[in-house]
């Protein structure tokens, strides 16, 4: 009876096993989320925070602020504002 011989080079896989798969992207928080975290606010506390409202008022044309919060505070965003100083 013959014993099968397996050559190491025949079982070795070549190439990148992740070829064709999407590269996982890191999701970074927005400046708004960073500010809310710095103020230690929960989502329920956003609308009642004076500090967050002042920050959003100053930065609403430069950074993302949730639309529902802008409507709650009656703030408008200038659509043509580039944010460049």
Quick one: CA dihedral 70, 72, 75, 77, positive or negative? positive
Please give the Cα distance from 51 to 74 (Å, whole number). Answer: 16
Please give the Cα distance from 17 to 23 (Å, whole number). Answer: 13
Please give the Cα distance from 36 to 59 (Å, whole number). Answer: 13
Q: Give the list of residues 6+ apart from residue 52 with CB closer than 8 angstroms, or none.
A: 35, 36, 39, 41, 46
pLDDT digit string, tens, across residues 26-82 = 999 999 999 999 999 999 999 999 999 999 999 999 999 999 999 999 999 988 766
């Amino acid at each position: 009876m013959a014993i099968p011989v397996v050559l190491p080079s025949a079982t070795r896989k070549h190439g990148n096993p992740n070829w064709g798969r999407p590269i996982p992207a890191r999701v970074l928080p927005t400046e708004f989320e960073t500010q809310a975290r710095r103020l230690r606010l929960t989502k329920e506390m956003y609308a009642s925070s004076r500090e967050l409202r002042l920050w959003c008022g100053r930065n609403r044309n430069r950074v993302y602020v949730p639309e529902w919060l802008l409507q709650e505070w009656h703030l408008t965003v200038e659509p043509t504002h580039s944010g460049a100083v």
